[in-house]
């Protein structure tokens, strides 16, 4: 594992709990505040943003893993 790959994986793993916290706060707002559901645009935009963030984080970690296991040649011809 290269230092750059390790750094990217570390950043992604640090960002992941913030997305989880966003989901918990969204769920808390939906359960405890009935006025939150009155504004459909705010509800839809926040839900969509949170879902996309989680999916992109997981996809990035999976892609990083596949990139490490693939033997890709650099433009210079070295591995």
Cβ–Cβ under 8 Å, residues 71 and 79? yes
Question: How many angstroms separate the CA atoms of 75 and 72, rounded?
Answer: 10
Q: DSSP class of residue 76?
A: T
Rounded to an integer, the average pLDDT of 66-74 is: 73
Predicted confidence at residue 56, as pLDDT, reads 86
Q: Is the pLDDT of residue 59 over 70?
A: yes
Nearest by Cα to 5 from 65, 76, 56? 65
Question: How many angstroms separate the CA atoms of 48 and 2, rounded?
Answer: 34
Predicted confidence at residue 75, as pLDDT, reads 66
74 confidence band (pLDDT: 50, 70, 90): low
Q: Kindly report, residue by residue over 10-37, the tens digit of the pLDDT.
A: 888 888 888 888 878 877 877 887 777 7
Question: How many angstroms separate the CA atoms of 20 and 39, rounded?
Answer: 23
């Amino acid at each position: 594992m290269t230092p750059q790959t390790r750094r990217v994986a570390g950043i992604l793993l640090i960002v992941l709990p913030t997305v989880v916290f966003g989901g918990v706060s969204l769920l808390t707002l939906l359960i405890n505040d009935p006025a939150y559901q009155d504004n459909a645009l705010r509800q839809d935009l926040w839900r969509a943003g949170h879902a996309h963030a989680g999916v992109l984080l997981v996809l990035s970690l999976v892609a990083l893993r596949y990139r490490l296991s693939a033997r890709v040649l650099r433009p210079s011809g070295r591995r």
